[in-house]
Chains A and B, each alone.
Chain A
Amino acid sequence: MRSFGTLLKNEMKLNIRNMNMVIFAVILPLVVLVILGFIYGTKPAAEGVSYTFLEQSVGALCTISICASGLMGLPLVVSEYRERKILKRFQVTPVSPAKLLAVEFTIYVLYCAVSLVTLLLASMLFWRVTIHGSLPAFLGSWLLTMVSTLSIGLMVGGIARNGKSASVIACLLYFPMLIFSGATLPLEVMPGAMQKVVSIFPLTQGIQMMKATSLGLPTGGLWGPVAVMGAVTVISMGVAVTCFKWE
């Protein structure tokens, strides 16, 4: 455990020094929130609904840091360490692949958590956003979305040959998820067959859940999404650890 703490502290320092994730996972979502806040203020999301546009958007805003961390930050840092032969140096020490991956995973969990807290605080303070539904349920769906998306990133980073292929795979995952997950295009307008396909994405499930739980809307079947995201997490983490390549 001592080594986990030291590795986490140093790797976190290096990651912050690099600034990329501070910008994409923490500052960017806040900037989007501020822009939306200035445009919509406390206006309702649509006529006759009891929640504001911002309240409807908070869940989706929280997924920006999740996407940036899980589909860009995490896979790229692990594959870069492989390409630069840093993992090869670790290979001739007693450290296990699982511990190294857990350290990097934890760093991005922290980024996502910081983004969540800053988004909620800012939107509550300045635009009187409240969680209409249940806060624990909202946090639960956030946690599940984050862990499942990050674990996909861990798998990509664990098995990609180098930084370039990791970023190609990351993009192949990132953009379809961003477009078809319901983050930009509402799920409801897609044909039925397509809805079934995109519902495998943990992000699709996550955004639907976060929206419903924060607004207090009926969640429908809760166990379906939980099962999908849980399965994605277990499979991805299993693949990441068992198929891990040092170089």
Chain B
Amino acid sequence: MKDENLAVRVEGLTKSYQGRTVLNGLDLAVRRGTVFGLLGANGAGKSTTIECILGTRRADSGTVAVLGRDPKKERGALFQRVGVQFQEGDYQPEIKVFELCEEIACLYNRPADWRELCRRFGIGGKLKNAVKSLSGGERQRLFIVLALIPSPELVFLDELTTGLDAKVRRDVWRILSELKGEGLTVLLTSHFMDEVEALCDEICILRQGTAVFHGTVEQARAQSGCEKFEDAYLQLSGEEDAA
């Protein structure tokens, strides 16, 4: 595949902590304008993969290109076009919602209208509240908003709907699908297979730092011979053996 059609290209990514291999020669290719799901059990290497792609962690070997750029060398230019939601996103102790949004928005050349984003995600009435006073679900939505403030071409969402109720999850899916229609590329991790089925064009299943499956949800079902995608996932990821 030509590089200009790829939002993320990862080749031979290897990383170990204190002699334990976390990523073992991982290859990934995320096409522009698609939703890509990185799946796997806790500890399979999902977060490490994302951090190595973003350049916040140094890989032992391998190459990474994000929107055709090296995330370590061209950090400033690249992150004008990339949004990130971290699993353990933290914030200044006393900060209010509108202050956090304002502070993030001011860093970008062409920020999105964050008031509109907050409304869209159902937290428009909470702008003056302290971030720490929000419920878990509201905070989760705020961190998705923060990732979308750059008006990104590519957004990383780590466990995006953890802690959200059923209705809100559907709303988040709908908004992400709309944004995908406008050309946004999404790289997400998730533990909810219904979410993956609803959103992802392509998935990669990690098992102890190695990609054990690469393809569409349909292909995963076919390869495993399972009717339900969740069963297919459990079989491919090896979680079933462990249980």
Contacts and interface: CB of A to CB of B under 8 A. Distances in A.
B79 A93 contact: yes
Contact of A93 (B90, B91, B92, B107): B107
Contacts of B77: 94
Contact of B102 (A10, A18, A85, A95): A10
Interface in B45-91: 54, 56, 75-77, 79-80, 82, 84, 86, 88-91
B95 A14 contact: yes
B82 A85 contact: no
Given A92-B79, A94-B75, A94-B79, A13 B104 contact: no
Given A84-B90, A85-B90, A89-B86, A96 B76 contact: yes
B92 to A, nearest CB: 5
Across chains A and B, which 6 residue pairs bring their CB atoms closest together, nearest first?
A6-B106, A92-B84, A3-B106, A85-B90, A17-B94, A84-B90
A88 B79 CA distance: 13
B218 interface: no
Interface in B3-48: none
21 contacts: A6-B102, A6-B106, A10-B102, A10-B103, A11-B103, A13-B99, A14-B94, A17-B94, A85-B90, A88-B56, A89-B84, A89-B86, A89-B91, A92-B56, A92-B79, A92-B86, A93-B79, A93-B104, A94-B77, A94-B107, A96-B76
B108 interface: yes
A89 B89 contact: yes
Given A6-B102, A96-B76, 6 more contacts: A84-B90, A86-B90, A86-B92, A89-B84, A89-B89, A92-B56
A246 interface: yes
Contacts of A11: 92, 103
Interface of B: 54, 56, 75-77, 79-80, 82, 84, 86, 88-95, 99, 102-104, 106-108, 150
B56 A247 contact: yes
Nearest to B81: A94
B89 to A, nearest CB: 6
Chain B CB within 10 A, most for which of A5, A81, A94, A247: A94
B56 A6 contact: no
A2 interface: yes
A219 interface: no
User: Secondary structure at chain B's binding surface: helix, strand, loop or mixed?
Assistant: loop
Contact of A7 (B54, B80, B93, B106): B106
Contacts of B75: 91, 94
Interface in A1-44: 2-3, 5-7, 10-11, 13-14, 17-18
A3 to B, nearest CB: 4
Interface string A67-89: 00000000000000100111011
Contacts of B106: 2-3, 5-7
Contacts of A84: 90, 92-93
A74 to B, nearest CB: 15
A89 B90 contact: yes
A85 B51 CA distance: 13
A94 B80 contact: yes
A96 B104 CA distance: 13
A3 B92 CA distance: 17
Nearest to B143: A89
Given A88-B86, A92-B82, A94-B108, A6 B76 contact: no
Interface in A113-168: none
Contacts of A13: 99
A88 B80 CA distance: 16
Contact of B107 (A17, A81, A95, A246): A95
A209 to B, nearest CB: 36
Contacts of B108: 93-94
Most buried by B among A7, A86, A89, A247: A89
Contact of A85 (B80, B84, B86): B86
Q: Which of A5, A81, A84, A247 has the most CB of B within 10 A?
A: A84
Contacts of B80: 94
Contacts of A7: 103, 106
A194 B106 CA distance: 49
Contacts of A95: 107
Interface in A90-104: 91-96
A84 B77 CA distance: 25
Nearest to B83: A92
Contact of A94 (B76, B86, B88, B93): B76
